[in-house]
Structure 1
Amino acid sequence: MNSAAPLPQADQTLMFNEAASTGDVVAAQFARNHDTVAALAAELRANPPPFIATCARGSSDHAATFAKYLFETQLGIVTASASPSIGSVYAAPLKLAGALFIAISQSGKSPDLLRNAEAAKAAGARVVALVNVEDSPLAQLADTVIPLCAGPEKSVAATKSYLASLAALLQLAAQWSREPKLLAALETLPQALRSAWQSDWSSLTTGLTGAHNLFVLGRGLGLGAAQEAALKFKETCGLHAEAYSSAEVKHGPMALVGEGFPVLCFAQPDGTEAGTLALAEEFRGRGAQVWVASAHGDLPLAAPPHPACAPLLTIQSFYKAINALALARGHNPDVPPHLNKVTETV
């Protein structure tokens, strides 16, 4: 146990209640940001960037992983992650003229993100900030601010702000591409998130109460969700978890998977799904302890309004389960040891 204080009930943690509000957060965010995002999308269609660079850390960097697959699949524009240390530590100037530079941050205060956003702007990039704190330094220097509208988030473990980041990226991609099915999905996503919160993943909570380590697998649009889940296992449960692409795990790490080894698979409902399900069966054949989140798996997953929305529903269901798991393992998910809400790296 990480604290001598009595543990709260599962539905009384800050993490539980903040995550539970995500559907309402996203609905409000879409309404408030519609005109801002539509105007930005129109400018990007008129002057398409040669590429997109993202910059983020922690959960926000997992949102950036989602952004890569989202923009590349929906817009065909190469999207890459810019390491914050390139600007803040190495002071290496990058050739970003005409690029779209997306900085993602809950607080908007981390010095390394600020330094890179400043350098990107000076290099001729259009800087867009996805940020929850609207009067933050990052918001003040950006060319366009897309507020996350998550409101105060008091639990150290980010939940609604992470999902709000993914939702903001979805709204931008939909407005930019003008793809009818993706635009229509925005209308029903808030209710889909509310439904996902009701999913019963208690088998995962029960099965991992005594675990020491595990793999979390995803692929494509679902890889960022696997990264986020692995972080939350470490952060809230003191449980060592590693995230891998369900393709990349075959290049060495799968040698660890044997009798009783826990594996959590997020099966993204698109062209990557069959391969992930086949890998799950292979691991079951080795005697591994496997859970699969999908319409065809043992962890129920509501049908997404669009495949690109599936990672949000997966993580929303996961947050409820990980909150319960943390408490079952004797941890308060709101106050992980050695961590602060705002991490300021240089």
Structure 2
Amino acid sequence: MNDSASLPAANATLMFQEAQQTADVVTAQYARNEATIARLAADLRANPPPFVVTCARGSSDHAATYAKYLFETQLGFVTASASPSVGSVYEARQQLKDALYIVISQSGKSPDLLHNARAAAAAGARVVAFVNVEDSPLAELAQTVIPLHAGPERSVAATKSYLASLAAILQLGAHWKDEGPLREALGKLPDSLRAAWQADWSALTDGLVDAHNLFVLGRGLGLAAAQEAALKFKETCGLHAEAYSSAEVKHGPMALVGPGFPVLCFAQPDETEAGTLALAKEFRARGAQVWVAAEHADPSAGPGQSLALAKAPHPACSPLLTIQSYYRAINALALRRGFNPDVPPHLNKVTETV
């Protein structure tokens, strides 16, 4: 925690400046990766994998959660998350013949991810790397490289590189499915991200200045946004937050939700939305302090409890818009709580695990 006099202005942090670049990053990324994505997608349609595996850590693993729900709901391919330690520590061989093995990493040099990527290739999987550093060791060993093109990111808190990961996964999913609505949404996404950056979530910032704990809830495609938000609360604000599916929270954790307990809900604008709004209403009836980010009206919300969510060109785009608005709010919250979001205590920009 810092003396507030030594903290930068909200719009002067690296986190703010880098997150603000996301729409331009995605525009450039889509143009530069179009040919590579199209080739990969065409081959995946011609030679479908039996299943998809993701391998990642930290924010990149939250992007992998998004990939799971996108590929399963839009394409029907079972997508599982590989635990890196199974390969790098236990050295257990996996049955991966012909699987699509997606490794997501900003730096592309964590030893455990590299070990698993090599093992997957040796087991007959097709290894695809989503990576920000194009000349990294991971990029060198992957069969197909999808560069994130996020550019240098100096704040320890990943923002544009996380959203660039989601955007690249969305581009692959849209081309792989090869149907109009999802493909058309790609061209509209950058402007939607710009609108999301302008959303006013100051009610959330004001409400959490003195908080100690909270839940962040999402479901389906929106779960990745909840996971990322919970991490950033801890990382940038020193605020303990836990992410749950709005269905899973009912299996025990909601016993903690009572008067004054803070809950942030991300209502994904799809088949899961009604259930999330119903849960928000239930928690408000217990006296909990609940904020809901939703495209549509939240009928149980009181003053300051609704967070504007930019309209998505397709429901699969909504998690990106949610997090873009969230990043601006969390940057402001960190400073209000006396933290510099660019330099969280005890953390480095690149984390290498074995």
Both structures adopt the same fold (TM-score exceeding 0.5):
yes
Question: Given that residues 2 and 330 in structure 1 are in contact (C-alpha distance below 8 angstroms), is that contact kept between their aligned partners in structure 2?
Answer: yes
Per the alignment, residue 187 of structure 1 pairs with 187
Unaligned runs of at least 5 residues, structure 2? 299-305
CA RMSD of aligned residues (A): 0.9
Distance in 2 (CA, whole Å) between partners of 1:182 and 1:45 is: 16
Per the alignment, residue 300 of structure 1 pairs with 308
Deviation at 1:179, TM superposition (A): 1.7
Distance in 1 (CA, whole Å) between partners of 2:5 and 2:236 is: 16
Q: 1:155 corresponds to which letter in structure 2?
A: S
Per the alignment, residue 90 of structure 2 pairs with 90
Identity, in percent, stands at: 78
Question: Given that residues 193 and 324 in structure 2 are in contact (C-alpha distance below 8 angstroms), is that contact kept between their aligned partners in structure 1?
Answer: yes
Whether 1:281 aligns to 2:289 is no
Question: Given that residues 198 and 317 in structure 1 are in contact (C-alpha distance below 8 angstroms), is that contact kept between their aligned partners in structure 2?
Answer: yes
Distance in 1 (CA, whole Å) between partners of 2:80 and 2:3 is: 40
Distance in 2 (CA, whole Å) between partners of 1:198 and 1:95 is: 47
Question: Given that residues 4 and 335 in structure 2 are in contact (C-alpha distance below 8 angstroms), is that contact kept between their aligned partners in structure 1?
Answer: no
Question: Given that residues 33 and 146 in structure 2 are in contact (C-alpha distance below 8 angstroms), is that contact kept between their aligned partners in structure 1?
Answer: yes
Count residues in correspondence.
346
Per the alignment, residue 201 of structure 1 pairs with 201
1:295-324 per-residue CA deviation (whole Å, 9 max, x = no partner) reads: 224100011000000000000000000000
Distance in 2 (CA, whole Å) between partners of 1:75 and 1:210 is: 43
Query: Using a 3 Å threshold, how does the CA distance of structure 1 residues 5 and 97 change in structure 2: closer, same or farther?
Result: farther
SS for the counterpart of 1:299 is strand
Distance in 1 (CA, whole Å) between partners of 2:265 and 2:35 is: 37
1:259-313 per-residue CA deviation (whole Å, 9 max, x = no partner) reads: 0000000000000000000000000000000000002241000110000000000
The correspondence of residues 53-132 of structure 1 with structure 2, limited to 5 A, is 53-132=53-132
Question: Given that residues 2 and 336 in structure 1 are in contact (C-alpha distance below 8 angstroms), is that contact kept between their aligned partners in structure 2?
Answer: no
**TM-score, normalised to structure 1's length?**
0.99
Unaligned runs of at least 5 residues, structure 1? none
Runs of 4+ in 1 over 4 A off after TM superposition: 2-5
Question: Given that residues 132 and 147 in structure 1 are in contact (C-alpha distance below 8 angstroms), is that contact kept between their aligned partners in structure 2?
Answer: yes
1:25-78 per-residue CA deviation (whole Å, 9 max, x = no partner) reads: 000000000000000001111100000000000000000000000000010000
Deviation at 1:2, TM superposition (A): 4.5
SS for the counterpart of 2:225 is helix
Question: Given that residues 129 and 138 in structure 2 are in contact (C-alpha distance below 8 angstroms), is that contact kept between their aligned partners in structure 1?
Answer: yes
Query: Using a 3 Å threshold, how does the CA distance of structure 1 residues 5 and 118 change in structure 2: closer, same or farther?
Result: farther
Per the alignment, residue 351 of structure 2 pairs with 343
SS for the counterpart of 2:307 is coil
Query: Using a 3 Å threshold, how does the CA distance of structure 1 residues 83 and 52 change in structure 2: closer, same or farther?
Result: same
Distance in 2 (CA, whole Å) between partners of 1:66 and 1:46 is: 24
Distance in 1 (CA, whole Å) between partners of 2:71 and 2:258 is: 36
Per the alignment, residue 174 of structure 1 pairs with 174
